[in-house]
Amino acid sequence: MPTEARSILFVHAHPDDESINNGATMAKYVAEGARVTLVTCTRGEYGEILLPELAHLAADREDRLGEYRVGELDRAMARLGVRDHRFLGEPGEFHDSGMMGTEGNERADAFWQADVGQTAQRLAEVIREVRPQVLVTYNPFGGYGHPDHIQAHRVAMRAVELVEGTDAQVERVYWNTMPYSVLVDAVGTLREEGADTGFKVVEAVEELLYAEDDSLVSAVIHAEEHVPAKTEAMREHATQILVDGPFFALSNYVGMRVLGTEYYRLARGSAPTGAPVAVDLFAGLDR
């Protein structure tokens, strides 16, 4: 398939999720000439703010974090070279739902409360426009159980069903995954090399809810040359991510290495022939 004919769509819940999970992959495919589109479902209004000087933007104060994170996302996508990034709804629509079990889940405008069928129709319109052969989103657990991640999974999978059998059919759906063995190595590296960061080191990888069995990996994208771009994209999400050298942490201050290799689990569509673990998400697709 000519690289200019390739189109890939990433569906994420909040600004910053894309850079952490797929930043190297996105930069790689942009560099190779593919069309890379990002749809972000909420503006992350309930995110915990890591910069004291911006604490006034919080939901319980000025409630302007969402609009600020729009700018962070713009700058992050510029770092990765992604020109086509959009939100699923208009401002004031599909509000961040907060963590599971919080009052934010019950808001009438919370993404968690959105009708999956109607919301998927919105995403299906984007699919019909950009014609991605490949769509990337979360697993049914949303990676670690956040309501908006789970809802993004539901909406994305339903949207794929809505275009099935049409000329906009998505050929392959991948879910982000993080292999257990990779996390073991990453935690070990932080313990050995990241003492100066002050980030926390988990005692057991099982504490990280997003760890999955290595056998679930269907594709491995090696994009180490794009780690600088991924790291800078993560730095742009400064209200949410702390970056220190090759390591980063979120609001829980648990450290992790910025990875240039990213992992995917095939959820829909056929795997590339003769390749139990692919190194290209488009491998074998010729549309």
pLDDT digits (tens, 9 = 90+) for 65-107: 999 999 999 999 999 999 999 999 999 999 999 999 999 999 9
pLDDT in tens, 122-136: 999 999 999 999 999
Task: Report the percent of the chain where pLDDT is more than 90.
Answer: 90
pLDDT over 90 (residue 1): no
According to the model, what pLDDT value does residue 171 have? 97
Stretch among 165-174, 259-268, 273-282 having the lowest mean pLDDT: 273-282
pLDDT in tens, 228-238: 999 999 999 99
Other CB atoms within 10 A of residue 181 CB: 13
**What number is the average pLDDT over the span 11-35?**
98
**Spatial separation of the C-alpha atoms in residues 1 and 286, rounded to whole Å:** 5
According to the model, what pLDDT value does residue 274 have? 72
Stretch among 50-59, 89-98, 183-192 having the lowest mean pLDDT: 183-192
According to the model, what pLDDT value does residue 2 have? 58
> N- to C-terminal Cα distance for the chain?
7
Which domains can be identified in the chain, with CATH numbers? 3-177+218-229+260-268 (3.40.50.10320)
According to the model, what pLDDT value does residue 3 have? 60
According to the model, what pLDDT value does residue 276 have? 82
pLDDT over 90 (residue 204): no
According to the model, what pLDDT value does residue 192 have? 92
Stretch among 149-163, 190-204, 227-241 having the lowest mean pLDDT: 190-204
pLDDT in tens, 212-225: 999 999 999 999 99
Task: Report the percent of the chain where pLDDT is more than 70.
Answer: 98
pLDDT over 90 (residue 287): no
Residue 163: C-alpha distances to residues 1, 84, 92, 207, 284 (Å): 22, 21, 27, 38, 21
User: Two tokens at 186?
Assistant: 């990453």
According to the model, what pLDDT value does residue 5 have? 87
The average confidence (pLDDT) of the chain is: 95
